[in-house]
Amino acid sequence: MYAIVNIAGKQTKVEANKFVYAHRLAGNVGDTVELGKALLTDSDGTITIGSPLLDVTVTGTILSHVKGDKVLVFKKKRRKGYKKLNGHRQQFTKVMINSIG
């Protein structure tokens, strides 16, 4: 069984007993969080689509707070001697999905 859930403005496919990386969520390691209502669920080939949401809640446990890979932003103006290099690392939360529904 899997579900499509809206987590922090992003639609994410989640399955029970698997982990997912979501944008930084409030809470400490070990806390149980409710990820919201499902948009779509699939149970053994039976697909249920909400309009817009289903009455299925997804709960998970926060495993850790991590940073993503570094993204380099390079700015340059040709023939002017101007170069600028910025780095950015997005904050993520690793969440173990406990139950769907």
Domain that includes residue 61, residue range: 2-100
User: What is the pLDDT at residue 50?
Assistant: 87
Q: Residue 76 corresponds to which tokens in the numbers above?
A: 């340059």
Among candidate residues 32, 38, 33, the one with its CA nearest the CA of residue 13: 38
User: What is the pLDDT at residue 9?
Assistant: 87
User: What is the pLDDT at residue 1?
Assistant: 87
Q: Residue 36 corresponds to which tokens in the numbers above?
A: 């919201």
User: What is the pLDDT at residue 96?
Assistant: 95
User: What is the pLDDT at residue 52?
Assistant: 86
User: What is the pLDDT at residue 67?
Assistant: 95
> What is the C-alpha to C-alpha distance for residues 22 and 30, in angstroms, rounded to an integer?
15
Mean pLDDT by 10 residues, the chain (101 residues): 90 92 92 89 89 90 94 94 93 94 81
Strand positions, DSSP E, 1-101? 2-7, 10-15, 19-23, 32-43, 46-49, 57-67, 71-77, 82-88, 91-100
Decide if 39 contacts 69 (C-beta within 8 A).
Answer: no
> How many domains, the chain?
1
